[in-house]
Amino acid sequence: MWRRIFALVVKELLTLLRDPRERIIIVLPPLLQLIIFSYAATFDLNHVPLAVYDQSGGVAAQQLIARFTGSGHFSLIDTLHSQRDVARLIDRQQALMVLSIGPDFARDLHRGHSAQVQLILDGRNSNTALLALGYARSIVSQFNSDWQRTHGLTPSPVQLVTRAWFNPNLESRWFIVPGIVGLLMLVVVMVATSLSVAREREQGTFDQLLVTPLRPAEILLGKAAPGFLIGLFEASAIIVVAIVWFGVPLRGDLLTLYTGIVLFLLSAIGVGLMISALASTLQQALLGAFMFLVPAIILSGFATPIGNMPIALQYLTYLNPLRYFMVVLRGVFLEGTPFALLLDQFWPMALIGVCTLGFAGWLFRHRMY
């Protein structure tokens, strides 16, 4: 039995790897996508175009402006001399934010009174505007603390001291890159497995399998093994790039990480083989894989928290193996979550893998006979 399965696995691997173009497609694009997506997909906001309308002209106003321009988040593009210029820059999207300092700013500060500063933001992109506003609030808060300390004023009764666990510098890339590892693994494995049987049917070689001594279960294992091996290789290569190139810390142990990888691969291969068993042509297999991939990525919690989704969609995510794998990846990479605390993520992926592989085997028997 195992000799027949091994022969089928070798045949599948040769089919996938004999063409140099296919070898390049399997290995190179996922690594390039990891690098491109990791740089392009970021929640950090740098070099925000900032305009300043300073009506005070004092030293205090210049100190506040210097904190904005020296923070690394804002880039000064213009110094305004009229209120009309504010609307012009915002309307033309030349500035995302305008810092407007009133004429009595310095006088009020020296008298110990509250001095007001106006921030005018382009709210067409609400997420970007909120990020810029958060940076601005942090700068103004630090300016207040330093001013009170240097001028002998009574400090605020309550001071907020923040500390971010697991990601001290709040680098969004640490959150995004582990998620991209799961996305690329799903895409590679789904494409490799969903096309396997459909390719055989379209080329007319599937009938040849039917006259061999191979049983449906052996064909299933033979079709699943190449996708598993390719997925394991891709995962290892992508993880190395994430750690070495992007500096994402791996705080957990490899046993926990690879347990999640193996279970996720089994569930993804099961779904891919189901699609492949149902499809009669390569086009149908590609459409089926695409129909699964898009909802799986959206409902995985990669970009938006699952808790913010409607209740009906939250229940639907329980059928998505990528949902559990995202928790495993980010938990092992950033938190160092131990094996025992991830059991509630492991067993759903194992259950999805068993059910989908079992159903794929039933489809093989049904379509063969």
- 183 and 284 in a single domain? The answer is yes
Residue 161 lies inside a defined structural domain of this protein? no
Place of tokens 């808790």: 307
Residues of the domain holding 197: 2-41+171-368
Report the Cα 254 to chain-centroid distance in Å.
Answer: 21
CA dihedral 360, 361, 366, 369 (to 10 degrees): 140
Instruction: Tell me the pairing of strands 74-79 and 117-121.
Output: unpaired
- 274 and 358 in a single domain? The answer is yes
- 129 and 33 in a single domain? The answer is no
- Residue 355: the pLDDT is 93
Q: Could you state, in chain order, the average pLDDT of each consecutive group of 10 residues for the chain (369 residues)?
A: 63 62 62 67 76 87 89 87 84 86 83 82 78 86 83 62 72 84 87 75 65 68 80 88 89 94 93 84 81 89 83 92 94 92 95 91 68
Q: Which of 351, 334, 350 is CA-nearest to residue 179?
A: 334
- 182 and 323 in a single domain? The answer is yes
Domain count, the chain: 2
CA dihedral 46, 49, 52, 53 (to 10 degrees): -140
Q: For the domain that residue 108 is a member of, what is the CATH number?
A: 3.40.1710.10
User: CB of 131 within 8 A of CB of 73?
Assistant: no
d(CA 332, CA 282): 37
- 268 and 339 in a single domain? The answer is yes
- 109 and 68 in a single domain? The answer is yes
Residue 284 lies inside a defined structural domain of this protein? yes
- Residue 82: the pLDDT is 85
- Residue 318: the pLDDT is 94
- Residue 358: the pLDDT is 87
- Residue 149: the pLDDT is 79
Exposure letters 88-106 (e unless 16+ CB within 10 A, then b): ebbeeeebbbbbbbbeebb
- 188 and 136 in a single domain? The answer is no
169, two tokens: 């510098």
